[in-house]
Every structure is written in C-alpha cells, then in structure tokens.
Amino acid sequence: MNNTGETYRIIISGGGTGGHIYPAIAIAKAWNEKYPESEVLFVGAEGKMEMQKVPEAGYKIEGLKIAGLKRKLTLENLSFPFKLLDSLQKAKKLIKNFDPHLVVGVGGYASGPVLFAAQRKGLPTLIQEQNSYAGLTNKLLAKNANAICVAYPDMDRYFPGDKIKYTGNPVRKDILSIEDKKAMALSHFGLDPKAPVILSIGGSLGARTLNQALLHTMADFESKGYQVLWQTGKFYYEKTIAQVKASAVKGIYPLEFIKDMDLAYAAADIVISRSGALSVSELSLVGKPVIFIPSPNVAEDHQTKNAMAYVSQKAALILKDGEAIEQLGPMVHSLLTDQAKRNELSMAIKKLAKPEAAKDIVKVMEELIQ
C-alpha cells in the first residue's frame, strides 16, 4: 500500500484506562501520518476516560453503555445483560453506517461488542494486547481475529501462534531521545548534578505503597546523599508534601504529576515504578535500571506477570508490594553502589525495547486491508 492520498475508514475500539487509550491514540496517529486522508473513528465506554482523552487528541469517539461485571452481586450486575445487548446493537449500527475497512480492538470493555459485530460481518479485525497476560475479552475474540499484535514473547499460551505479531506497545515519542538531555533535565528540576537521582512514578493517580515506602526511607536517602524526584499522584500529593515539609529532609522533591517525563527519565540514575504494560514498555526504551513494585490490585495479578517477563531476562528487579516499605531502602542503596549491576540491567532492558511499535502495527493493518 502507498500513501498517495488513499482514504481508509478505521474503527479503533476499547479503553477504560490509560494503558489502553494511549496505545490506541498512538496507532491512530501513526496510521494518519501515512494515510492523512483516512477517517478514524474511536468507540469507547460511556463515562470512561477515553470519552475525554480521545477528543483531546483530535479524534471522534462514540460511546457504548457497556460496563464490566463486578465481583460482588450488585444492582449494576443485574443491568449487565441489558447494557451488553444495547452495546451490541449500537456497535452493529456503527459498523453498518461507518463501513470500516478494518476494526482494531485495544482491550477494555468497549472492544468486545465492536470486534464481535465486525467479526460477525466478516470484516478484518486486529487485536492489540498490551500485557504479558491476555485479558478475557481478547482471549474470547482471538479465534476470529485476523491478527494479534503483542508486546511480550511467549503469547502463544493465550492466542493462536500463527496470528501473533510481536510488535511491542506504542509509547510517546518524546522519550525516544533522552541521551543528551541530562544536564538540561537536572537544571529543569533544580537537582544537584553531583548526587544520584532516584525517580519514583506510581501512575497519574499515585501508588500508595510507593509513597509510603519513600516516606519511610527519605531520611535515610538524605543521609546517603541521594535525591528523589517523586511523582506522588493527585490522591496523595497534599498529604505527602505536608509530611516532607514537616520532616525538613533535603533533596526530596514531591510533585503531583510530572509533565515532562522525558526530562524526568533523563535525570534519573534509577527508576522505581509500578509495572503496568505501558510503563514497562516505556522503561525499556528509556534503558535505566528499574525496580518494579507491581500493584496487587489489578485483574489476574498481571502487573507481576509483566514485571516477571523482564526479571526473567535479567532486565529489571522486582519487589513485592507487601515488602516494599521495609525493603525499598536497602534495595535502592545496593543498586546505587553497584555500577556493574546498573550497567547490566540497562543493557538487558534496552534489548527488550520496541521503538517502532506503532509503525509495525500499521504494517500489520495494511496487510489485513489488502
């Protein structure tokens, strides 16, 4: 296929969390770079964050009433069959009216009805699975999908091997070139160029355990001359900043949210992070030594599985959530005093990076349309 003004109609469905939405937007942008005349329509779940994030990125989105089943028996669960039927009807209508050349599902509630309706109509469908552990919706839809783009090796445990394309997760472009930004980054955050920098990121809402572990160890870090660049998340910011001020420790920099992530990564000597699929993909491109503290509050414990896929390749360290408060300090200190270990982790994690993920997914889309 070539980009001589060809126009294609693409539906991208799914969402629910940033982990689904940001890859979806990256795929849309990569497609539009090659085929600027194309129409891309998103389909999300009403009330979920994609209904805000997708229009902000400049794309149209339609919402379905679909919601997930709660683990407990609730009134919401009783309404589930009705929401599902309503969503299937609307998905069928959207597909009839928009008449797409291809439908892409990125996981999350909305991708189910849309891919199902597209498959029933015999349209080509592509699944993009971000995690090392396949979600239920994607597993159910995989047998009738034409291709499945994955971010981890060994995904034939969940999907038909002949349909798998190992493309990686699309991540934001600005973090691809951080090598020469260190001096600028240190001055941007007001950091001391002579002292090691620990970067802690727990997602935009924050991760309670990471925050508690850092509060527990910050005096120790100060005494060792370490600096901490710390994204607390909006839920924990006020409380954290009050505690940091009250303790009068130096070199600890709590921020509610770090907008310039490329600079934060460039400044860091080591990174402490949750292991959501996108964080893991992003950190492999960054190539810094990482300590993953997987969130225990996610479906099927998939953050532990994501982290272990890297730990098994000697590309990261892992610390259990329940042990983080006591163990984080010693683990950070042992890593910051062992240059050889840091180099080894950096080299190994870079080998797992997939910088061209969005373009590679576009190639698979092209093959399916042909």
Q: Is 122 within any annotated ligand binding site?
A: no
Predicted local distance difference test score (pLDDT) of residue 4: 53
pLDDT tens digits, 216-228: 999 999 999 999 9
pLDDT tens digits, 99-109: 999 999 999 88
Q: Is 13 within any annotated ligand binding site?
A: no
Q: Is 282 within any annotated ligand binding site?
A: yes
Which residues make up the CATH 3.40.50.2000 domain(s) of the chain?
A: 9-169+356-369, 174-351
pTM: 0.88
Q: Is 279 within any annotated ligand binding site?
A: yes
Q: Is 281 within any annotated ligand binding site?
A: yes
Phi, psi of 65 (to 5 degrees): -80, -5
Which residues lie closer than 8 Å to 238 by C-beta, 6 or more apart? none
The pLDDT-based confidence of 70 (bands split at 50, 70, 90) is low
Q: Is 272 within any annotated ligand binding site?
A: no
| Selection from 66, 60, 24 nearest residue 45 by Cα | 66
Predicted local distance difference test score (pLDDT) of residue 64: 95
Q: Would you say residue 299 has pLDDT above 60?
A: yes
Q: 174-351: what fold?
A: Rossmann fold (3.40.50)
Q: Is 277 within any annotated ligand binding site?
A: yes
Query: DSSP 3-state assignment of 182?
Result: helix
Average pLDDT in the chain: 92
Predicted local distance difference test score (pLDDT) of residue 13: 97
Q: Which residues pair with 165 in a beta bridge?
A: 149
Q: Would you say residue 160 has pLDDT above 90?
A: yes
Q: Is 204 within any annotated ligand binding site?
A: yes
Q: Is 18 within any annotated ligand binding site?
A: yes
Token readout for 177 is 């070139």
Q: Quickly tell me which residue has 């270990």 as its tokens.
A: 341
Token readout for 265 is 């990564």
Comparing 335 with 172, the larger pLDDT belongs to 335
Stretch among 79-83, 324-328, 341-345 having the lowest mean pLDDT: 79-83
9-169+356-369 belongs to CATH 1.10.1040.10:
no
pLDDT tens digits, 29-63: 999 999 999 999 999 999 999 999 999 999 999 99
Predicted local distance difference test score (pLDDT) of residue 335: 98
Rounded to whole angstroms, the Cα distance separating 156 from 209 reads 33
Q: Is 275 within any annotated ligand binding site?
A: no
Q: Is 112 within any annotated ligand binding site?
A: no
Q: Is 303 within any annotated ligand binding site?
A: yes
Q: Is 19 within any annotated ligand binding site?
A: yes
Q: Is 278 within any annotated ligand binding site?
A: yes
Stretch among 69-73, 189-193, 247-251, 323-327 having the lowest mean pLDDT: 69-73
DSSP-derived secondary structure letter, 146: S
Comparing 60 with 19, the larger pLDDT belongs to 60
- Per-residue pLDDT averaged across 142-162, rounded? 95
